[in-house]
Structure 1
Amino acid sequence: MPFASFVGVNHHGQLVLFGCALLADETKESFVWLFKTWLEAMSAWPPKAIITDQNKAIKFAIMEVFPESRHRFCLWHILERVSEKLNNFCKANLTFVDKLHDCVYNSLTVDEFEMRWDQLIKDFKLGEHTWLQTLYEDRQQWVPAYLKDTFFAGMSTSQQGESVNSFFDSYLSEKTTLNEFLDQYEMTLENLYEKEAQADFETLSIIPSLKTPSPFEKQAASVYTNEIFKKIQLEVLGMSACCISNVQQEGAITVYIVKEWEDLEMLNGKDYKVMWNGSEVRISCICHLFEFKGFLCRHALVALITSGVPKVPSHYILKRWTKEMRNRHVLDDFLIEQACNGDRPKTMDQRYNDLCQRSSRFAEEGSLSEESYNIALYELQRAVQKLLIVNNSNGRLSQPREQFEKVASSPSNHCSTQESWQQMGQEVFEHMGACQPVYHTREFYQ
């Protein structure tokens, strides 16, 4: 059976499993069902960006279910197919693959890619190749130059280890039975949890070693998780290969041309245009590393230090990469932001999941001391009483007798009618010491 997995990355850049499914087939209808079901499980919040294999059925299903999401194809998967689709040609033209990679990866702008691609096709006389024509038609969904303005958390999938397809390779195969699949799925989750817990521990207990006296590196070491710090450290080290070759003033914006030498053979280096607005504290680079990966590039850092700014501005430090990502306030801020944007849950299950997430902050604060616990318990009792009154007045709990008998039961209490259910709840809320089980109204809708 076709296996579909939803994978992202956590604050350490590690792969995270959001969910998966076994499909009957790979038709558009199956993928539409898959995406709608997953969307419901995610409280109706669609992904801002999604990466898939190059597949027409998936492409059209995403257009229907996730019309606002930025969809890209797995770059590694596409480049792997080059040798398959042009096998004999690649063997006869050994430089083609290298030039293709150079065209795809090293084109800073859309215009540069278009020029390089056109020249590549002409040089190797591949204008009539059907698969390459199809690839070019879909270029906006796989060529980095077209996608650098969208945040993909660094998931470029340019290497096999980053490929979503390879995520389960060490756990599953075509011979895996359904029972084995469930066991392996749990084992996969356990391994992921262990890796994340280990990375959390190392971030909090191990101070990363600095390689330069740069204030940017010191700031990054104190803010980011260790794995993300290593990526930023490479950018700091890369500053030594950069210099400002030209400076222009365009109103409030200072334009820096940063030249970077990648190796000794590139005598002229490569130019990167960086725009700095000092009054608004805004900076952008033509390479769009921040937009794509979520941290500033070496070219922007060179421009900042030249402008007399020794620290990365706070709005260029994404919470999702920092040590504070584990802080209980981050999730709370995220939920508030979603509510302000109008992304409110619409179904009962979505409301239930949303309230569970929000209540975790309430529980954490309430458990810090006996005083806060008493306050939380008192306010919780008052809130539940109000909810019971509202729900009863709206007829929310008018359910068949047999459903109450099935759900509302425990060794110490048995509620077979709506009246006895309400009576039990009222007794619990009036007496703080009576810690009786209280069943959530969601259970009546199972």
Structure 2
Amino acid sequence: MKQLKNIAVYYSLRVEQFEAAWEYMVQHHGTRDHKWLQALFEEWKRWVPVYLKEIFLARMFPVQPSEVVSSYFEELLHKDTPLKEFLDKYDQVLQTHHQLEALVDLDSRNLSSMLKSRCHFELQLSKVYTNDNLRKFESEVEGMYSCFSTSKLNVDGPVVTYIVQEQTEVDPALKLMEIGERGETV
């Protein structure tokens, strides 16, 4: 199954090749009626390389660089896990994940937290964000207080780029150093 999937996904040069290879794979393994595989197939334009040839994806990460990437499946799967067992375990893991998210949401709704400003938007966000996400947002807002100058650099449709100057406190023991074009201290 893995070899057929890799051929279908990574070695298809044309959309028709991918579709034919996927069809053969699900027919050969009898997995045509599996809901998760059907959903995966319906979203192929978002993840199959043959559809992404014309899209530039530099600097896109699945998680924040500071976050640790951990797999839900490390303890559940091994290299010889049959497809049926994988799909069953995948469904179990998703259900568990959704239950945990629901508990966090419930806790956030039941435990109100002190707001850091008197801004109306913070009150609105406190009603829809979890407490953890609200704290991250508040941290970003607090960081804006040290910004004293902005100027618009570029407008490209809905994307507007600004240059922002930020005042930060520097340890007086530190000296200002200038770095030259070749990386040397000037």
Normalised by the size of structure 2, how large is the TM-score? Answer: 0.53
| 1:142–1:267 Cα change, 3 Å | farther
* Structure-2 residue corresponding to 1:60: 50
Which residue is equivalent to 2:27?
none
**Alignment counterpart, residue 94 of structure 2, candidates 179, 186, 189:** 189
| SS of alignment partner, residue 171 of structure 1 | coil
Corresponding residue to 1:258 among 160, 164, 168: 164
Residue 143 (str. 1) matches residue 59 (str. 2): yes
Q: CA deviation at 1:59?
A: 2.4
Shift in alpha-carbon separation, 1:259–1:43, aligned structure 2, 3 A: same
**Given the alignment, which residue of 22, 27, 33 partners 2:11?**
27
Secondary structure, counterpart of 1:198 in structure 2? helix
The corresponding residue for 1:205 is 110
User: Is the partner of 1:161 in helix, strand or coil?
Assistant: coil
Counterpart among 219, 225, 236 of residue 141 in structure 2: 236
Do structure 1's residue 176 and structure 2's residue 166 form an aligned pair? no
In 1: Cα distance, 2:151 partner to 2:67 partner:
39
Identity of aligned residues (%): 26
Q: Any conservation in 1 of the 2:113–2:131 contact (CA below 8 Å)?
A: yes
Q: TM-score, normalised by structure 1?
A: 0.26
**Greater share of helix residues, 1 or 2?**
1
Q: Which residues of structure 1 form unaligned runs of 5+? A: 4-21, 53-57, 72-139, 145-153, 248-254, 269-446
What is the identity, as a one-letter code, of the residue corresponding to 2:164? V
Q: Quick one: structure 1 residues 227 and 43, their matched pair in 2 at CA, closer, same or farther if it must change by over 3 Å?
A: farther
Given that 1:171 and 1:188 are in contact with CA atoms closer than 8 Å, whether structure 2 keeps it comes out as no
- The alpha carbon displacement at 1:267 in A equals 10
The CA distance in 2 between the partners of 1:263 and 1:174, in whole Å, is 52
Query: In structure 2, what is the Cα distance between the partners aligned to 1:216 and 1:235?
Result: 14
Which structure 2 segments of 5+ residues have no match? 24-31, 153-160, 177-186
Deviation at 1:216, TM superposition (A): 3.8
Using the alignment, how far apart are the partners of 1:143 and 1:262 within structure 2? 27
> How far did 1:187 drift?
2.3
Change (3 A) 1:190 1:156: closer
The verdict on how the C-alpha distance between 1:203 and 1:169 changes in structure 2, with shifts beyond 3 A counting, is same
Aligned residues between the structures: 149
Tell me by how many angstroms 1:257 deviates: 5.5
1:142 deviation in Å?
1.4
- Give the Cα–Cα distance (whole angstroms) in 2 for the partners of residues 157 and 231 of structure 1: 13
Measure, in 2, the Cα distance between the counterparts of 1:267 and 1:31: 62
d(CA) in 1 for partners of 2:99, 2:89: 15
Between the aligned partners of 1:143 and 1:182, the Cα distance in structure 2 is: 31
Give me the whole-angstrom Cα distance separating, in 2, the residues matched to 1:178 and 1:42.
Answer: 14
Q: Which residue of 2 aligns with 1:158?
A: 65
The corresponding residue for 2:2 is 2
Corresponding residue for residue 218 of structure 1 = 123
Q: Is the 8 A contact 1:155 1:162 kept in 2?
A: no
Task: Give the corresponding residue for 1:13.
Answer: none
Q: Which one-letter code corresponds to 1:208 in the other structure?
A: S
Q: Which has the larger radius of gyration?
A: 1
TM-superposed deviation, 1:188: 0.8
Where does 1:31-430 land on structure 2 (aligned, <5 Å)? 34=22, 41=39, 50=46, 58-63=48-53, 71=55, 140-143=56-59, 155-156=62-63, 158=65, 161-162=68-69, 166-178=71-83, 180-244=85-149, 258-261=164-167, 264=170
Query: RMSD of aligned C-alpha atoms?
Result: 4.6
**Distance of 1:183 and 1:256 partners within structure 2:** 48
Find the residue that maps to 2:145 and give its secondary structure.
helix
Instruction: Give the drift of 1:33.
Output: 5.1
